[in-house]
Amino acid sequence: MSRFDTVQPHTDAATLTVDLGALVANWRQLAALAGSEAGAVVKADAYGIGIEPAVTALSGAGCRSFFVAHLSEGIRARSVAPEATIYVLNGLLPGRCAVYAEHALSPVLGSRDELAEWSGFRATGAAVRPAALHVDTGMNRLGLQPSEALDLARGHDAVAAAGIGLLMTHFSASEDEADPASERQAADFATIAAAFPGLPASLKNSSGHFLPDCPSYALTRPGYALYGGNPTPGRANPMRQVVGLEARIIQLRSVEAGAQVGYNGRWTAPRRSLLATICLGYADGYPRNASGTDALPGGTALVGGVACPFVGSVSMDLIILDVTDAPSAARGEAVTLLGGPLDLEAVGAGAKTIGYEILTSLGRRYGRRYVGL
């Protein structure tokens, strides 16, 4: 039993199982593929599996660089990885420099204003970790424009004053090999990296590890693939599954053909059907868009290995399944909502969203079991 477990068998209605061994194996696979240092993106509560268990497992395996989105996430990561380099991706909000210093966190700076504030703080003699410089090569979201970065490179004074230790950019479409954006971004970043000789650089995200001829530079930043998401859509998933989700049947009932099911009667039974209600809903992070209606199919669960469709609306705490073709369906039986053939991509498609949203929405009401280490 892991110290991170929260399973209470007599009270939990649903259980989330996280395979930390698979997480570590995925990180090692990506590091080997890159041929350089692989960091780990652990933002959004480590994509829903928990920052503390994820960072503990990865740092124990040798990961030394982590990326989070917010300061609060960085503080949590620091609590279990005292020696790691922890970058905060979402930039430097005004007046926060002292918090970065207190927790030895590295801001990812993406504007001249951020550079100026951080440089001014460093000039006071404050002890801080090296920051990262973010250059925008195509997202139009965060980061310096390439021309701004090249202007900085000509003088180097501003970069030195800010104590920059890493240069980075972010792909906008690396999961699609046919999209020319990645090649264009990589070329632009190569020009910028060459203007900062000796400065370590980072380009690859999860899917970037699988782009032909894409340079790894000093550090890569896998995220989704670490947690079992497919970084090569349309092809077999090269990553191991990390997350499994089960809930239990609380009630069975038979309905006649023509019966309307769930809120607003959005699904109509086409035959005499056996329905099972499970203890899980959108309050647990399962998207309401997974509802099964007369117009559109929704999500799927496995009952005794049989795929059973969601019928009616996903409600706050409950989901109804059509288990007519599942002979093992019984009150109290565990059903699988994530795991095996129901991988992140399949579950995301059933909920009319993407696997990223499925992961990062994983609810706090689940009993959590951590295995594999």
Confidence check: pLDDT of 328 > 80: yes
Q: Which of 43, 224, 282, 366 is catalytic?
A: 43
Residues 255-297 have pLDDT tens digits of 999 999 999 999 999 999 999 999 999 999 999 999 999 999 9
Which amino acid, one-letter code, is at 201?
A
Helix axes 146-155, 181-194, angle to 10 degrees: 10
Kindly provide the residue ranges of all beta strands, DSSP E only, lying in 213-255, ordered along the sequence. Answer: 219-220, 243-255
The pLDDT assigned to 155 comes to: 78
- DSSP reduced 3-state for 241: coil
Residues 65-124 have pLDDT tens digits of 999 999 999 999 999 999 999 999 999 999 999 999 999 999 999 999 999 999 999 999
The question of whether 43 is a catalytic residue gets the answer yes
pLDDT band at 159 (very low <50, low <70, confident <90, very high): confident
Confidence check: pLDDT of 1 > 80: no
Confidence check: pLDDT of 364 > 90: no
Residue of 49, 34, 88 lying closest to 65 (CA atoms): 88
Query: Domains in the chain, ordered, with CATH?
Result: 20-227 (3.20.20.10), 243-371 (2.40.37.10)
Its pTM stands at 0.96
Residues 22-32 have pLDDT tens digits of 999 999 999 99
- Partnered with residue 261 across adjacent β-strands are 267
Residues 119-138 have pLDDT tens digits of 999 999 999 999 999 999 99
Mean pLDDT calculated for residue range 342-369: 96
Confidence check: pLDDT of 303 > 90: yes
- Please count the CA atoms within 13 angstroms of the CA of 33 that sit on its side-chain side: 24
Q: Which of 87, 263, 352, 370 is catalytic?
A: 263
Residues 190-230 have pLDDT tens digits of 999 999 999 999 999 999 999 999 999 999 999 999 999 99
Alpha-carbon span 88 to 72, nearest angstrom? 9
